[in-house]
């Protein structure tokens, strides 16, 4: 199994946050991954399914249903319906193993502490939205950030699973001014334009939280504003202990990096909506989001406020 990011809709930004390195992923042979390109018809691969179930039983041998019986049931289900259903225990194991094998993620040491929320029964956009809010609330944890993944309904031959347009649950809007400058996050100008066309009433400030755009097979696209509740969206002010002018910039960033544009594949079954969060590293915010030329681009401004010489890049 390999892992790649997948933009669920072309309206998503092309920015690839460093947080995506910590999205659950796997190595060949482990039975679970976050991927695109295979299984788009919702038909489960029985060979991947067997590989995954054998690994699950090898690492969790005390099961009420023996492996041979589980394999027979899986094969019969795929023969009949084109897919099979993971137990909650299998789903939890698959999500955790995916994070365990995320080789580029410094946080994967804590794979076994990943909180896995089984949201497969949620079908209506309002239900999905409520679960997304709950995900953020549990992840925020009153400031003690904890890793969480919410797994929604899979793709099946009979019905595709839900999707989210957003690449992260929390992102700031970007507005292009007449002079070409941008208020907010330049990486999200296009996404902001798209959701405004869909009816979003944009406040047009520097830190406006974008709505989540939920796409289900039975409903038209629906937009939901996330509550500006610090228990759901915790934002951290960026201050300097000795330079008040840095504090006066009014910078801030959200505390939870919840990747939402990658799909989880466990044992041949695709889960197209499986938002996941670990933790931010300070360098990701301070050395990328706030200073990259295609993001907030504040490097020169901050250097000037600190009285640094910016006449040379060497």
Range 225-264 burial, b when 16+ CB lie within 10 A, else e: ebeeeeebbbeeebeeeeeeebeebebebbbbbbbbbbbb
Q: Which residues contact 233 (CB under 8 A, 6 or more apart)?
A: 136, 140, 170, 209, 226, 227, 254, 256
Q: What does 54-89 look like in DSSP terms, one character per residue? A: HHHHHH----SS-HHHHHHHHHHHHHHHS-----HH
Active site residue 108: yes
Active site residue 22: no
Tally of CB atoms within 10 A around 176: 15
Active site residue 284: yes
> Sheet of 264-266: strands edge to edge?
32-34, 264-266, 269-271
Residue among 108, 119, 137, 265 flagged as catalytic: 108
Q: How far apart, in Å, are the Cα atoms of 250 and each of 53, 60, 173, 237, 238?
A: 51, 50, 16, 7, 7
Residue among 99, 105, 119, 160 flagged as catalytic: 105
Residue among 75, 130, 193, 279 flagged as catalytic: 279
The answer to whether the Cα torsion of 117, 120, 121, 123 is positive or negative is: positive
Active site residue 105: yes
Strand, coil or helix: what is 98? helix
Phi (first) and psi of residue 258, to 5 degrees: -105, 100
- Gap between the terminal Cα atoms of the chain: 43
User: Which residues participate in catalysis according to the annotation?
Assistant: 105, 108, 279, 284
């Amino acid at each position: 199994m390999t892992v790649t990011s997948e933009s669920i809709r072309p309206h998503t930004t092309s920015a690839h946050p460093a947080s995506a390195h910590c999205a659950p992923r796997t190595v060949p042979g482990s039975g679970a991954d976050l991927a695109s390109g295979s299984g788009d018809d919702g038909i489960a691969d029985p060979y991947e399914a067997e590989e995954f179930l054998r690994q699950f039983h090898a690492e969790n041998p005390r099961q009420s249903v023996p492996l041979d019986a589980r394999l027979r049931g899986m094969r019969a289900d795929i023969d009949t319906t084109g897919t099979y259903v993971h137990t909650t225990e299998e789903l939890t194991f698959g999500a955790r193993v995916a994070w365990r094998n995320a080789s580029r993620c410094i946080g994967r040491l804590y794979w076994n502490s990943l909180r896995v929320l089984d949201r497969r029964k949620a079908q209506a956009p309002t239900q999905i939205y409520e679960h997304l809010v709950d995900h953020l609330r549990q992840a925020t944890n009153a400031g003690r950030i904890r890793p969480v993944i919410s797994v929604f309904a899979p793709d099946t031959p009979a019905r595709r699973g839900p999707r989210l347009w957003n690449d992260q649950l929390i992102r700031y809007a970007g507005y292009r001014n007449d002079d070409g400058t941008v208020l907010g996050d330049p990486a999200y100008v296009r996404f902001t334009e798209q959701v405004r066309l869909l009816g979003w009433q944009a406040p047009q400030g520097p830190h406006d939280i974008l709505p989540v755009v939920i796409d289900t097979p039975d409903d038209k696209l629906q937009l939901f504003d996330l509550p500006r509740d610090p228990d759901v969206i915790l934002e951290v002010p960026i201050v300097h202990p000795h330079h008040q002018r840095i504090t006066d910039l009014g910078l801030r960033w959200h505390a939870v990096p919840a990747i939402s544009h990658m799909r989880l594949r466990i044992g041949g079954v695709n889960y197209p909506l499986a938002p996941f969060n670990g933790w931010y590293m300070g360098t990701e915010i301070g050395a990328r989001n706030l200073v990259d030329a295609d993001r907030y681009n504040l490097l020169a401004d901050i250097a000037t406020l600190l009285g640094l010489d910016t006449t040379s890049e060497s």
